[in-house]
Amino acid sequence: MSDAINPNQSGADPNTGNAPGIVMNSLPVNVVSEYMTQFLFWDQAVTSLNALYNKLTTSTLDEYETRAGDAMNKGKRKSLKEVGAELAYANGQRRYFSKKVYGNGLMEHRMRRKI
């Protein structure tokens, strides 16, 4: 790893690992803390949705109903497709805030041949 991007180097930005003085090198502390809060929230959401998705894939029960005298219990499991969509969204949000915090994906270049 080169010295310019080594985060352990003295004076390097802890978020990007870049040497000081590069434009867009550091975010203000309050912005970093907000992005980290969002990243940690979505990271926890992905973890719990993964557990739910795994539980649903092993379950064979879609719906149940029990009646005992005057009482009745009824339940239906969540759709695997809906949980998968929620999981994909949460992964995207986690990736978005990770890129914001660590300085990835700031710009996109599209190059074309000159004809």
CA dist., res. 1 & res. 13, Å (int): 15
What residue ranges of the chain have pLDDT lower than 70? 1-26, 103-109
Pick the CATH number of 28-102 from 3.30.1490, 3.30.410, 1.10.287, 1.10.150: 1.10.287
Cα 46 to Cα 88: distance, rounded to the nearest angstrom: 9
Closest CA to 11 of 36, 106, 3, 27: 3
Instruction: Give the pLDDT confidence score for residue 6 in this predicted structure.
Output: 43
pLDDT of residue 102: 73
Domain ranges of the chain: 28-102
At 45-75, the pLDDT tens digits run: 999 999 999 988 887 777 778 888 788 888 7
pLDDT of residue 1: 41
